[in-house]
Structure 1
Amino acid sequence: STADSARKAFNPLEGQIRENMSLHNELRLTRQLCDAVIRVDGAEFSVHKLVLCKCSPYFRALFSRWSTPACATFDIPGVTPYKMCFIIDFAYNGYVHLTNENAEELFIMADHFGISGLLQACSDFLEKHLSPLNCIQIWKLTYTFYHPELRDKAFSYVLRHFEEVVATCGDFLLLSAQSLAEIIGSDQLIVKREEIVYEAILKWMNYAPEERKEHSSLLFPKVRLAWMSPKYVRENVNEREFVKSIPERQAKYFHSLKIIPDHWRETSYRYFICPTLAKPRVPPALMLAIGGWTERGPTSLIEAYESNTEYWKRAPMTTETSLVYHGSVFLNGSVYIVGGYDGVKQFNAVHRLDLASMTWHEVSPMHSTRSFISVTVMNGFIYAMGGCNGPQRLNTVERHDPRSNQWTLISSMHEKRSDASCTTLNGRVYICGGFNGSEYLSTAEVYNPDTDQWTMIANMSSKRSGLGVAAFGDYIFAVGGFDGFSRLNTVEAYNVSTKTWCNFPSMKKKRSNFGISVMEDLLFAVGGFGGVSTISDVEFYDIKANMWVKANSMRMSRSALSCCVVDRLYNTAYYADHQNSPQLNHLPSAGEEEMEQ
């Protein structure tokens, strides 16, 4: 292939090694110049001692120290002919075809024979194929066969997928008490509710109650009582069994928890009553508020909202450029910042933040310069729609494939739209509202990637520019915005089944050009412009309670920001543990007031 030719051109030694391996394997298959026979359970394999010595210290010792020079036949116990065939193939080719059926067995064999290359290949395969059903098995495997890197990855996977593991993995019930204690005692354990930890303990104990009840004093103290609901404690926790197995300080808190009304349970109150039990776990997700207008102009700062502590913290990174009216999305462990405006010019640039390595990478630029852009993700692609290139509003749309790092123009929208907002639902892209250069829009349309066509849908009841759009509860929500006269707090939602819009409760705060995201079954509206100044206010809509609830404000007032939710990161704790910065309050800049007109 062209790639192989390029590698050989830059690394002739590697090419020579490959040619030698191919030659040695051809000689083995034709049984030429072989100087040893490996015999396994009656099956014989003709081999070259030198080849096996290169890949395994076991064979090096077998041929040089554990036998005489004249010995040519070697019996290998404890392995099947099937497995030995794979080992010999790897020694000659540097490659074996790994599957879910053979990877663990070959991992064990590679450890036994000290074949580091095969061990690493199996480890990489097992890591790539971790699932809620096999992660505990792989974690336990690494305690028998030493491989700390795979052990850490498997354990991290268990912590990040704990709820699914408890619900679906049979190996969970077979954990030792010490292993379960290690899992539920970790600050890195990701659960939406601390009650899930308590219920997991009960499930594990009820599997063999007589044998396991003695472990209650090891397990129940790992529960973070301060994060349990008083109502749940009153209605579901067996006080007699629970209290006798926990330390006295926890028992006192348990009793106080039973009489604390739910609405008193502010985060600060938790810490005040029992600081040792109020240490939060790593949040299951973080909501990032990125860039935006401040009194000093565009900012590059990022704040992170933790769902468990319900506080905003200064994130330990900034954007490459101070931006407003940009888009941001989370895809495959990275945050993409798309287009935008820096107060002087519009951009077609795209930057990707790898959240694992904390490094920024430049991505192929869009075909068009776009500020006031609408961006979303669907089926592994990033969609960039409309916006403003300076003199013109756009109806063009392009799609980015991260695998090829290429943008492709697709069908244009029916309307020119800047300052619109978009989302995806059921394999379709929806975009609503915006400004076409002369009027504010109430129109909306939907894109079908199968036909590459846009179709107009029913109009919203209000004109909305600078609105927030999100798929939530099987609806397309259109929130807030600017109708040409005033900022809005009204909310309406499109029912994709009936193809009609209906009204929902209004936000507490009128706002446009705010961030919008769905996190843990709540719809968040973040910051924005209130008509006089930028705001730091945050609120969320609880669809079950059918009401908007005020949340803790950002540390910085800003509008024209973007928000996205990131989840299941290996290093979520790094963002969650970052120290709070001093409280900041900002007013709108003159530039912002001009752009808002």
Structure 2
Amino acid sequence: MSACDPQKSETANDNVSTNSIDEGLPREFSQISLTSTSSQDEFYNNGHSEVALKNIYGYYRSQKLCDVVLIAEGCRIPAHKVVLSSCSEYFAAMFTGSLKEAKLNEIVLERVDATALQSLVHYCYTGVIELKEESVEVLLSTASLLQLHAVTKACCTFLMKQLDPCNSLGIALFAEHQSCLTLHKSALEYTYQHFIEVVKHPEYLSLQVDQLANLLKSDDLNVISEEDVFDSVMTWVQHDNINREKHLPTLLKLVKLPLLSSEYLIDKVEQSCGKIQECQPLIMEAVKWHLLPERRTSLSSHRTRPRTSTIGRLLAIGGMDGNKGASNMEIYDPRTNTWSPFMRMGTRRLQFGVAVLQNKLIIVGGRDGLKTLNTVDCFDLTTLSWSTLAAMNTHRHGLGVAVLGNGPHAPVYAVGGHDGWIYLNSVERWDAASRTWTVVAPMAGARSTCGVAALRDVVNFADIRIMIKKMLTYNYSICAAGGYLYALGGHEAPANTMGGRLACVERYDPVTDTWTLLARLSYARDAIGSCLLGDRIVAVGGYDGVQYLNLVEIYDAESNTWRNLAPISIGRAGAAVVAVPPPHRTL
């Protein structure tokens, strides 16, 4: 018996019964049925197709009635044209069309693996095939050639289960070559998700420059910061520095250099790439981004748009809901577009202020349902633990809170609000170094529930009382982005009068001292929670005059459009919404 004999692989491949024709007869007779009318009888055998296929398989095993021999790598595989054609579009076209092979009894298949071909012919008779890690890629490519779609799909599913940082790049490239789009997508997504681990394996170091460039183009790379991306480029280049250094200008264009710290730019990027003339404009672009923040609008490019994993995540905290006050938090992951339950606040608070300082969430003032608070809680996003900070000098609810700057000791401002008796114009500043609150210069007028944002290192206050001469409508939610102030939703009349809710959005340009109407929200509402996530504004929840909403929208300034994100689990109005840094470990 030759190595290609159909009977040789029975033990490994045949998982179905191989009863002889005679052995199948009792079962056949047990599955017959007879239906009658007055003029005729109709006989129906439930097991006919199964018995017939078993018999055909028996002829294949004994090499009887075969009318074609497939030859691959010198291996001869007798088979039946009708069986091959019924399972494979490739063979159907070969044997039923006008090709010369239709009249031949022996068909030579060039560049086809003999073992894979034998397994696939066996599959045509049995519907069974064995998948092994060491041979599945050859089997997939052969099945793809023969257009055995069910086997191709099974191989792809098998490979998806085998994805690992050491092989995901190879599987992605293989799937692309085989036009297996679903497998290609899954392998790429796995590579993006596990990028930090993938770059440690030989497959990454063996990439061609165009393959690496395609990888770096994706904003879905799961990295802590852009430093990881630059480090990965240098790892690839230094693996074969003599031949790869010439590719640095091409690859450096795909690293978001402006988003690196100024120290890293000088100490690492300039040191590694500064001597290459074509890299110098890219380094200078990044330096300008740091030195000229007022010009960032004109300097914006794909290199200044952060990757999804580096923009952090979004926290929606508290707010008014159907139960008249939520104390829970929800966290949004932009990589998966999903909201998940997070922590609960230590105490019940309404109308409080929130700030993020480094990896700490500061919750300031508010009211507990009975009294106005001056207490301040701190939640450490790294250790997931609560602590208490020094209390403010004044009890406040409906206050605005903003952080001025990005350093570890950036001051936090608590602005205005209501102390339970009167509206306040006072302002307090938290000093992280001394851990104390200090009263600073007051606002010109007392106000509560005002929008507060830091724009160009200045704290800005906005509400209907002071912006009425400049704003085109009455807005309440305010945030800063790209050198502008944005005001979202609100009333078409002051809050203490009856008025409809608004879907309008306005942008304030401090250079021209003008407000401009932008694309409208999809739904009119006020009491929207908003903040900057990466380089885009997100609007969360709100109140439409009847119900609390769970809508979440994100604004694209380039196209001046809003699009929906996944909704929060419950409708909330006036929720505190803040962006928190990307975690170094899963929260």
TM-score (norm 2): 0.49
TM-score (norm 1): 0.49
